[in-house]
Amino acid sequence: MEYLVDQIRSQFPALASGAIFFDGPGGTQVPQAVIDAVSGYYRKANANEHGFFPSARRSDAIIAASRLAVADFINAASADEIVFGANMTTLTLQLARALGRTLKAGDEIVVSRLDHDANIAPWLHLQENGAVIRWLEIDPADCTLRLGDLGRIIGHRTKLVAVGCASNAFGTITDVAKIIAAAQRVGALTFLDAVHFAPHRPIDVQALGCDFLACSPYKFYGPHSGVLYGKKEALERLQPYKVRPASDSIPDCFETGTKNHEGLAGVGAAIDFLAALGRDFSANYAKGLEGYAPGRRRWLKQAMAAVTDHETRLFSSLLEGLLAIPGVRIYGITDPGRFNERTPTACFTLAGLTPAHVAKKMGEQGICVWDGNYYAWEPMKYLGLEEKGGAVRAGLCLYNTDREVDCFLESVKKLSAVNQLA
Ligand SMILES: Cc1ncc(COP(=O)(O)O)c(C=O)c1O
């Protein structure tokens, strides 16, 4: 199976600018199909929900189709288990508030020191309801979680375990299946942050058996928005905060106010874009985005497998190149034999230069990387990086190329060399 990166890139208008987008972990570019779906919504379907007129009916159909597409993307049993929202952070804060209603003083919530704050702060707020927070700690040697502590941290008082599938700072993929099994042994609920994981690996909520999972379509080629999966029985047990005339049925009762309809049109199109890649990889089907929903789950799986291969190959060169540059320090797994335990996201510092300086210099050359903590505030503090301006983050995704990796490495080399001379 050939990975036709140029053909894939030709579908992303923003890539024509020549910029090198290594900022995927902060948000990816979108293919033309997503742009068309968003603008098409405004042309043909712009209306509020559940009206008796054609544009409202079309709008309802688009939202329902996108819900189904997300269910396929994460292999949910039903589209009713998909809640749409502004972004993962807002959805998680809302869910935490609803879960807070079910807690008693002394109930324990387990969170992870490795996570983005959107999967920590919402749960810390539940201390106001009497919840006690227990932490899964980091092994600083490779920026993984100390899962050996699970038996000590998760116990009969645990009501919820909230962990990330992958770190948006270091790329570490956590063995969440092991954590879910430990949580289930004591009857605790599980919440997974799959925001950084979703663009890089397939998600199967039924196989995982998690109660909740959240991700953000703008990290996987869609519009700025958020998605929350809740197992039907888990959603049904909760009473979300809502306005009185709004529906009491799931998932509607979790979706406060009017949704971002045009964005949701784009969410479905982003998933169909990925499915179309899988379809094209698997066989030479005719091009075109129509009419392949029945095979979508299979094609999505194939697409993600091919994307993982492509990204891992590129990442191997990127990491090897970085490790050879004087002054570079990498945070996270560096052993190529363990690349199945990480995403293609490199977190590094360059001796003598602040991360902001490195990112600024690279930005001036059209190389988009992030600096700072990317809201992975706890691990940055834990590693002593926060007070030094965090670290530089370069993340690969499906449209990146060998040439871009070479340009990036050349740029880091030059910064390192200038610094050595100074
Ligand atoms: C791992 C992770 N979790 C949560 C979030 C927050 O997502 P959102 O921007 O949709 O609120 C991000 C955003 O960068 C992230 O990378």
Q: Domain containing 75 — which CATH number?
A: 3.40.640.10
Do 363 and 260 share a structural domain? no
Report pLDDT for 357.
97
Q: Give me the amino acid identity at 19.
A: A
In angstroms, the CA 211 to CA 235 distance is 9
Region of residue 4 (left: phi > 0; alpha: psi -120 to 50; beta: else): beta
- What type of residue is 105? A
CATH number, domain containing residue 360: 3.90.1150.10
CA 223 to chain centre: 13
CA of 409 to the centre of ligand 1 (A): 27
Question: Within a domain: residue 74?
Answer: yes
User: Within a domain: residue 275?
Assistant: no
255 and 345 housed in the same domain: no
Give which of 131, 129, 121, 196 is closest to 160, Cα–Cα. 131
Any idea which residue has 């809640």 for tokens?
83
Q: Under DSSP, is residue 117 helix (H, G, I), strand (E, B) or coil?
A: helix
Q: Which atom of ligand 1 is nearest to the CA of 25?
A: 16
Distance between Cα 196 and ligand 1 center (Å): 7
| Position in ligand 1 atom list of the atom nearest CA 27 | 14
Atom of ligand 1 nearest to the CA of 89: 11
Residues 398 and 339 in one domain: yes
With the most atoms of ligand 1 within 8 angstroms of its CB, the residue from 83, 111, 115, 116 to mutate is 116
89 CA to centre of ligand 1 in angstroms = 7
Q: Do 73 and 205 sit in the same domain of this protein?
A: yes
The ranges of the chain with pLDDT < 70 are: 1, 281-294, 422
- Domain count of the fold of the chain: 2
Amino acid 290: pLDDT: 44
Q: Of 161, 164, 204, nearest to 186 (Cα)?
A: 161
Structure tokens at 285: 């089907």
Å from CA of 403 to ligand 1 middle: 28
SS3 138: strand
Same domain for 165 and 117, yes or no, is: yes
Task: Encode pLDDT of 47-95 as tens digits.
Answer: 999 999 999 999 999 999 999 999 999 999 999 999 999 999 999 999 9
pLDDT in tens, 333-346: 999 999 999 999 99
- Measure 257 CA to ligand 1 centroid, in angstroms: 22
CA of 167 to the centre of ligand 1 (A): 10
Q: Which of 88, 227, 228 to mutate to test the pocket of ligand 1 (most atoms within 8 A of CB)?
A: 88
| Nearest alpha carbon to residue 92 among 102, 83, 105 | 83
Whole-number Å distance, alpha carbon 359 to ligand 1 midpoint, is: 20
Is residue 52 located within the same domain as residue 125?
A: yes
Tokens of 361: 């210099």
For residue 11, the enclosing domain spans 5-22+296-421
- Residue 213: alpha-carbon gap to chain centroid: 10
Q: What six digits make up the tokens of 352?
A: 């003598």
The tally of CA atoms less than 13 A away on the side-chain side of residue 263 is 15
Q: Which atom of ligand 1 is nearest to the CA of 90?
A: 11
Q: Does 169 reside within a domain?
A: yes
The backbone region for 325, taken as left when phi is positive above 0, alpha when psi lies in -120 to 50, beta otherwise, is beta
Q: Does residue 278 lie within any of the structural domains? A: no
Q: Ligand 1 pocket: which of 70, 168, 191 to mutate (most atoms <8 Å of CB)? A: 168
| Cβ < 6 A, ligand 1 pocket | 87-89, 116, 118-119, 164, 168, 193, 195-196, 216, 226
Which tokens in the block code for residue 226?
């958020």
Instruction: Write down the pLDDT at residue 294.
Output: 66
> What is the Å distance from ligand 1's center to 227 Cα?
11
10 Å Cβ neighbour count for 399? 23
Give the residue, by CA position, lying nearest to ligand 1 atom 15. 195
- Residue 96: inside a domain, yes or no? yes
Alpha-carbon dihedral sign for residues 124, 130, 136, 140: positive
CA dist 58 → 32, 65, 228 (Å): 21, 10, 24
pLDDT at 282: 60
Tell me if 277 is assigned to some domain. Answer: no
Looking at ligand 1, which atom is closest to the CA of residue 164? 1
For residues 341 and 204, state if they share a domain. Answer: no
Q: What is the CA radius of gyration of the chain?
A: 22
Confirm if 168 and 116 have CB atoms less than 8 A apart.
Answer: yes
Does residue 27 form part of some domain? no
Distance (angstroms) between ligand 1 centre and the Cα of 195 equals 6
**Residue 40 Cα to ligand 1 middle (Å):** 27
**41 and 15 belong to one structural domain:** no
- Environment class of 142 (CB within 10 Å of its CB; exposed 0-12, middle 13-18, buried 19+): middle
Strand partners, 145: 138
Both 10 and 78 in one domain: the answer is no
How far apart are alpha carbons 67 and 314 in whole angstroms? 33
Ligand 1 atom nearest to CA at 374:
14
For residue 144, the surrounding DSSP H or E stretch is strand 144-145
> Which DSSP string corresponds to 282-334?
HS-PPS-SSS-GGGHHHHHHHHHHHHHHHHHHHHHHHHHHHHTSTTEEEES--
Q: Considering 247, 267, 287, which residue would you say is the last residue of a domain? A: 267
Tell whether 244 and 365 lie within a shared domain: no
Whether 239 and 352 share a structural domain: no
Q: Which atom of ligand 1 is nearest to the CA of 196?
A: 1
Say if residue 96 is in the same domain as residue 142: yes
Per-residue model confidence (pLDDT) at position 285: 39
How far apart, in Å, are the Cα atoms of 73 and each of 11, 33, 53, 150, 190? 20, 17, 30, 29, 19
Contact criterion met (CB below 8 Å) for 111 and 266: no
Among 216, 248, 267, residue at a domain's last position: 267
286 within a domain of the structure (yes/no): no
